[in-house]
């Protein structure tokens, strides 16, 4: 699958949430706040500040097809509550919203002039926001917008040719950068972004598969043959106890 970013939020501390897809699209945390999430650690979305808690660049997709998914917890008022936004520059392009009191989840997509073109509510089967939920949506030009709640799809909404899908460049978590939303108290975990529309089976598979955790590593960049070897030699995160050159032990 052409995944362009995935965030396990496994760090548990610090000001960076690392992208473990290999694309290096890390998120920067303006107000580092970590909590326990669905898999392990998660980003606490704050619940008070209008500014997003985490921001990061994603590559634009000229084809305009997207799948966005993650585990979310949400509470607060007034509704709806903002969980995630995607922008192009400073122009809003997409947002995921929660409405706990009415048991709804919404995805709004915007045209390049900022007008809302699709306003999709997951009313069947609805969303119980007293529990954590896996929320995903898929979209592509000239097709449909579909929301999946815990793997179950709502009734798809017909697309609009005016929606801007090919210039998304930044993802934001928490805050109140949308037009009609309040900051949410809650968290986000196991966030993934794809540049194609996934199938229901694909979404179910990813929903039940945690994002691989981020593992910091220290790599020694010199190996000495003869003399003293560097102490604490590692390959990735694995300590190396012995190195052989042929049958000759040269380290360890």
123 is written with which tokens?
């009313």
Mean pLDDT of all residues in 87-108:
89
Which architecture does CATH list for 3-207? Sandwich (2.60)
**pLDDT confidence bin for 247, thresholds 50/70/90:** low
Where do the domains of the chain lie?
3-207, 217-252
Task: Name the pLDDT band for 251 (thresholds 50, 70, 90).
Answer: low
At residue 170, the pLDDT reads 94
pLDDT over 70, % of the chain: 78
- What percentage of residues in the chain have a pLDDT greater than 90? 43
CA dist., res. 44 & res. 185, Å (int): 8
204-241: per-residue pLDDT in tens?
999 999 999 998 764 444 445 455 545 555 665 566 66
What are 41-67's pLDDT values in tens digits? 999 987 667 788 899 999 988 888 999
Residue 119: pLDDT above 80? no
What is the per-residue pLDDT for 222? Answer: 46
């Amino acid at each position: 699958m052409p995944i362009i970013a995935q965030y396990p939020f496994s760090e548990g501390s610090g000001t960076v949430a690392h992208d473990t897809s290999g694309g290096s699209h890390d998120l920067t945390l303006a107000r580092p706040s970590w909590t326990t999430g669905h898999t392990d650690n998660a980003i606490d979305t704050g619940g008070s500040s209008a500014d997003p808690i985490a921001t990061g660049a994603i590559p634009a997709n000229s084809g305009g097809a997207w799948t966005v998914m993650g585990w979310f917890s949400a509470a607060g008022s007034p509704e709806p509550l903002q969980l995630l936004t995607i922008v192009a520059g400073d122009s809003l392009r997409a947002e995921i919203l929660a409405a706990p009191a009415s048991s709804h989840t919404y995805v709004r997509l915007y045209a390049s002039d900022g007008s809302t073109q699709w306003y999709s509510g997951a009313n069947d089967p609805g969303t119980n926001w007293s529990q954590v939920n896996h929320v995903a949506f898929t979209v592509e030009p000239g097709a449909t917008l579909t929301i999946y709640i815990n793997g179950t799809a709502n009734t798809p909404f017909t697309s609009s040719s005016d929606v801007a899908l090919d210039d998304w460049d930044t993802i934001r978590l928490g805050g109140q950068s949308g037009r009609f939303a309040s900051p949410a108290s809650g968290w986000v975990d196991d966030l993934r972004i794809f540049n194609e529309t996934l199938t229901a089976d694909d979404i179910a598979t990813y929903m039940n598969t945690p994002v691989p955790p981020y593992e910091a590593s220290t790599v020694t960049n010199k190996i000495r043959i003869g003399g003293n070897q560097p102490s604490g030699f590692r390959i990735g995160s694995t300590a190396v106890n012995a190195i052989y050159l042929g049958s000759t032990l040269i380290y360890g």
